[in-house]
Structure 1
Amino acid sequence: MAARQGGGAHGCPALPLANGRSIPVLGLGTSHQGGYSHDAVVYALQKCGIHHIDTAKRYGCESLLQKAIKDSGVKREDLWITTKLWHSDYGYENTKKACLESCRRLGVEYLDLYLIHWPDAHVSGKSNREVRAETWRAMEELYEKGLCRSIGVSNFLISHLEQLEEDCVVIPHVNQVEYHPFQRPQELVDYCRSKNIVFEGYCPLAKGEALTHPTIIQLAKKYGRTPAQICIRWSIQNGVVTIPKSTRAERIQENCKVFDFTIAEDDVEILNGMHDGRHVSWDPGLIV
């Protein structure tokens, strides 16, 4: 799946989704851990040409983002905004209500991408599969109405995706999963590609663990780059939409400077070979 130029802002390449829309391959992640920086978001939007913002109800910063987007002066149609549905809002009616509430907090009339955050539903008396199917039916309706321009899932494994395909009509456009040199779930990536689901990766720096690895430091020296740039470039070269997080302007700038060099194929293979299965975030492996 080759990235094409022009779909993203300021020359940031974009990947085509199954519905004909294009998602910028590099985004700015936000989170509930480590705080939130208004200035960093405005900086990313204004100065770095990062127009892809990834958030979630769970992170508690949707209304803060509304202000940052407004202050940036970037037009709504030039932005890609992703947010996520938290499991306390799963279910048919709840999902529709939660989507409208996220839109209200973000100050937008539609979402570019809405994701089911996590495959575990925590609903007593119903299986996870039942709740996921019911939730997804609401997502499909939101998509049909244009309230969500694209819909997808996060932290879903092959088994979860297979069940969803059996239970539903629209196949997710995106699956957002932890992805970095130590956690490269290639079987899941291949499965998503076979279903035309774009694979999106979070924690590309393994929450900093990748930045001190001798192999990554060595490659950074070889290419005259930083370890973070090596990790992000590697992820993008593997065809993964990549969303690093930072609250510091200089880090965001560093993370964006990844389109003017290429990692040689044999070095990509070295990084691919570093997979050891560790998770720095959630492990959805135990969820049925």
Structure 2
Amino acid sequence: MPGTELQGSDSVQIPSADVVMPRLGFGVYKIRGDGCHEACLTALRYGYRHIDSAQLYRNEDEVGRAVAESSVKRQDVFLTTKISRAHPSSIQKTYGNALESIRKLDGPDGYVDLFLIHMPGRDKANRERLWKALEQLHAEGKARAIGVSNFHIHHLEEMKEYASIWPPHVNQIEVGEASWSRFCLCKLDNNLLHQLHPWCQQRNLDSYCKDNKILVQAYCPLVAGSKFQDPTLCALAARRGKTPAQILIRYSLEKGWVPLPKSEKPNRIRENAAVFDFALGTDDVTILDGLDQGSEGACFPANSS
């Protein structure tokens, strides 16, 4: 395919749902205001048909405005958002909170293509209320597919105790080709969480999801650009005549993941879409597989409780 334009056929069937998802998404984490609006318009112009937002990102309005203003029909854009907190005692109020996200993205009579629980947190009752609210949205056609993010195997197994819909259609996790460490600060519920942020492949979780027909989405597939100078990655990119970012995105695709790269720069947005005109060889994938340094956590870790 042309290197600057995605095609509608670049899609994957969600194994446990009658829903087709574009294989490449556009992430908007930490992109706010007019910058988010413009980035989404640029992404849509270059052929992206899949945008990943969240309540915590505080940009659902901007994403929705970009989709409405673009020349792309709503039914041709796959919209994802995420909910983080349940009402402490009410599924219906949690459901109402989720409906507000849908209103921001697609108006009062709209829908989203995928609604996720953003992170498991420490409270099983909270997870249950969140999931019940998403199940209601799904039953009403307000969310075509529902899933989770940052859930480990024990969280997914626990869901069997309360879920009417199992398996969740999607698990969006931090998976990648190497465990390159950096630190990040995340603020949630007014608590600063100082975390060691390693990049890891999470092979056991990936295998579990595949075995149970849970589609894996990969956030942060570019390792925030922190290893674009890695000698192994650069050598592979030079051999293929591609950029390090394109190699990393292609790696995610060939692992069966749906990568969600992000950028505000038009040239990078375009570059990240040009990944369907080549394939990595078996040896290339093996080299990248060998960079894994072990599973040591993620930027938004799922708690062990």
TM-score by length of 1: 0.89
What is aligned with 1:150? 145
Secondary structure of the structure 2 residue equivalent to 1:149: strand
Are residue 281 (structure 1) and residue 299 (structure 2) matched?
yes
What is aligned with 1:84? 82
Whole-angstrom distance in 2 between the partners of 1:37 and 1:19: 30
Mapping 1:8-87, distance limit 5 Å:
9-32=7-30, 36-46=35-45, 48-87=46-85
2:144 counterpart letter in structure 1: R
Alignment check: 8 A CA contact 2:85 2:130 kept: no
Alignment check: 8 A CA contact 1:204 1:242 kept: yes
Secondary structure of the structure 2 residue equivalent to 1:142: helix
CA distance 1:70–1:281, shift in 2 (3 Å): same
Whole-angstrom distance in 2 between the partners of 1:181 and 1:274: 6
Deviations 1:54-75 (A, max 9, x none): 0001001011112211221211
Are residue 104 (structure 1) and residue 103 (structure 2) matched?
yes
What is aligned with 1:237? 254
What is aligned with 1:115? 116
Deviations 1:5-42 (A, max 9, x none): xxx95332323331121111100000136774322211
1:214 Cα deviation from its structure 2 partner: 1.1
Secondary structure of the structure 1 residue equivalent to 2:116: strand
Whole-angstrom distance in 2 between the partners of 1:89 and 1:272: 41
Alignment check: 8 A CA contact 1:9 1:78 kept: no
Deviations 1:127-153 (A, max 9, x none): x12221222122111111111110000
Relative contact order (alpha carbons < 8 A, sep ≥ 6): 1 or 2 greater? 2
What is aligned with 2:196? none
Unaligned runs of 5+ in 1: 1-7, 122-127
Deviations 1:72-105 (A, max 9, x none): 1211110100000022657512321112100111
Unaligned runs of 5+ in 2: 1-5, 179-199
Give the 4+ runs in structure 1 shifted more than 4 A.
88-91
CA distance 1:137–1:34, shift in 2 (3 Å): closer
Secondary structure of the structure 1 residue equivalent to 2:173: strand
What is aligned with 2:174? 178
Whole-angstrom distance in 2 between the partners of 1:145 and 1:280: 33
1:168 Cα deviation from its structure 2 partner: 1.2
- Larger helix fraction of residues: 1
Alignment check: 8 A CA contact 2:85 2:126 kept: no
Secondary structure of the structure 2 residue equivalent to 1:211: coil
Quick one: which of 133, 140, 160 aligns to 1:165?
160
Whole-angstrom distance in 1 between the partners of 2:296 and 2:230: 14
Tell me the percent identity: 38
TM-score by length of 2: 0.85
2:65 counterpart letter in structure 1: K
